[in-house]
Amino acid sequence: MSAPSESPTAPARALPLSLRRLALLLGGLAMFGPFSIDTIFPAFPVMGAELGADKLAMQQTISVYLVAYALMSVVHGPLSDAIGRRKVILGGLGVFTLASAACALSEQLSTLLFFRAIQGLSAGVGLIVGRAVIRDLLHGDDAQRLMSQVMMIFGIAPAIAPVIGGWILGWAHWPAIFWFLVGFSVLLWIAVAAGLPETHPPQARLSLKPKRLLRDYVAIWLNPRFQRLTAVGAFNFGALFLYIGSAPAFVLDILKLSEREFAWFFVPTIGGMVLGSFASGRAAGKIGGDRLVGIGFAFCALAIALNLGYNLLAPAPQVPWAVLPMCILAFGIALVFPIVTLSILDMYPHQRGSASSLQAFGGLVVNAVLAGVISPLVSGSAIVLAIVSSALTAAAWGFWCWEAWVSRSGRCARVPEDAPVIEPQDSL
């Protein structure tokens, strides 16, 4: 398997703004999804007491968000292929802003869950469409560098979100956290409106006919190579997301920390992801994609060994040792993810939005199951959490080995012959 390379069918366009500004903007767009999940973690006990909800019920504020996010993720990409990236991003930000305000005004758990679902329906535009924007503008090593820079900025969100949530909770009631999300999304809307031109021109747009969309989705989803690469990304990140989704139990119950001490878990973990993203960007053009993924999985294996060993031997998990493996795991994931994502987008140069949507859908389904089903079952035990996380990493490594074997044997091509290709004249 090779590193992302330039597609002859989709020439790069002139950059509409500097790479640094573009990275900041796309990173900010990717951040508001994680902000929606992690900022409310410190408020779980207070919200549960006020809304009459136990820990399992409060966990559903995460799972309902992720289920809605996953369901709508299959729409964001093809919609941006049909009407343009900019319109979809602005529309999604607008809906997210209104849903966040409604969450702040909710007085019952059922109402809060409903508007959390609306948040989830709109939150995917930044991450999903943003990936397509990167590939619209850049190819090969340049795309890997920008993807890594965006991941560095994106990685800051889970680290600072619970800290911000704890600070807000220290001086205001829990609805203020959702008002913070309102303000953040408004600022993003203004930044996109003022600073992000359209990167998907009308002549390259595709039809949004339901029959054609369904046919194309089925063809992409049934492509074995797409399935393998999507599984690599989903299970590899899932090993870390299991801890993120279990953060309230892991931080408050297992590590015995307070609501204002979530930073002990999130800062080292996301610090590892930021460092890994930086390393991935620096390695672009110097280290081949296959080798970089191998290095990333080597760090993941080291994290597994340390995590299992520590939790088997330690009488009670404590910081910083209990979170050190998460830092190393995040570093490895950040090396793997850009290569896998760009490889998927390069498979379908005419339908990057659709490919990005389906990749996100696969990952989000895994995350929703982990947050809503697996996490409540395993988050009471540090060693069980470590075992399940290790199994997810092992599954990702297995799919990568399978993909590498198929590629070496010549049984797959970068763009399959049966891949749906729609010519520009079929555009709206």
CA–chain centroid gap for 12, Å, is 25
Q: For residue 9, tell me if it sits in a domain.
A: no
Q: What's the number of CA atoms in the CB half-sphere (13 Å) around residue 149?
A: 19
**Residue 182: CB partners within 8 Å, gap ≥ 6?**
97, 100, 101, 104
In terms of DSSP H, where are the helices of 222-374? 224-245, 247, 263-283, 289-313, 324-347, 352-369
Q: For residue 381, tell me if it sits in a domain.
A: yes
Distance between CA 241 and CA 367 in Å, rounded? 7
- Cβ count within 10 A of residue 319: 15
What pLDDT sits at residue 15?
52
| Burial classification of residue 208, based on how many CB atoms lie within 10 Å of its CB (0-12 exposed, 13-18 middle, 19 or more buried) | middle
Mean per-residue pLDDT for 194-199?
80
Contact 375, 221 (CB under 8 A): no
Q: For residue 213, tell me if it sits in a domain.
A: yes
What pLDDT sits at residue 17?
55
Res. 358: pLDDT tops 80: yes
What pLDDT sits at residue 138?
74
pLDDT above 70 covers a percentage of the chain that reads 89
Tokens of 105: 């005004």
Distance between CA 423 and CA 259 in Å, rounded? 54
Q: For residue 428, tell me if it sits in a domain.
A: no
What is the reported pTM? 0.71
Q: What's the number of CA atoms in the CB half-sphere (13 Å) around residue 56?
A: 6
| Burial classification of residue 164, based on how many CB atoms lie within 10 Å of its CB (0-12 exposed, 13-18 middle, 19 or more buried) | middle
Contact 232, 336 (CB under 8 A): yes
Q: For residue 424, tell me if it sits in a domain.
A: no
Name the domain count of the chain: 1
Instruction: Tell which residue, 368, 362, 370, has the closest CA to residue 392.
Output: 370
83 SS3 class? helix
Rg (CA), the chain: 21
Q: For residue 104, tell me if it sits in a domain.
A: yes
Domain that includes residue 178, residue range: 19-419
Distance between CA 358 and CA 240 in Å, rounded? 21
Tokens of 301: 């294996």
Q: What's the number of CA atoms in the CB half-sphere (13 Å) around residue 353?
A: 29
Q: For residue 177, tell me if it sits in a domain.
A: yes
CATH number at residue 391: 1.20.1250.20
For 223-267, write each residue's pLDDT tens digit.
999 999 999 999 999 999 899 888 888 888 888 887 677 778 878
Contact 60, 180 (CB under 8 A): no
Distance between CA 110 and CA 220 in Å, rounded? 36
Q: For residue 229, tell me if it sits in a domain.
A: yes
Mean per-residue pLDDT for 107-133?
86
What pLDDT sits at residue 170?
81
For 57-91, write each residue's pLDDT tens digit.
787 888 788 788 878 878 887 788 788 888 888 99
Q: Average model confidence (pLDDT) for the chain?
A: 81
For 390-399, write each residue's pLDDT tens digit.
999 999 999 9
Contact 347, 287 (CB under 8 A): no
| Burial classification of residue 67, based on how many CB atoms lie within 10 Å of its CB (0-12 exposed, 13-18 middle, 19 or more buried) | buried
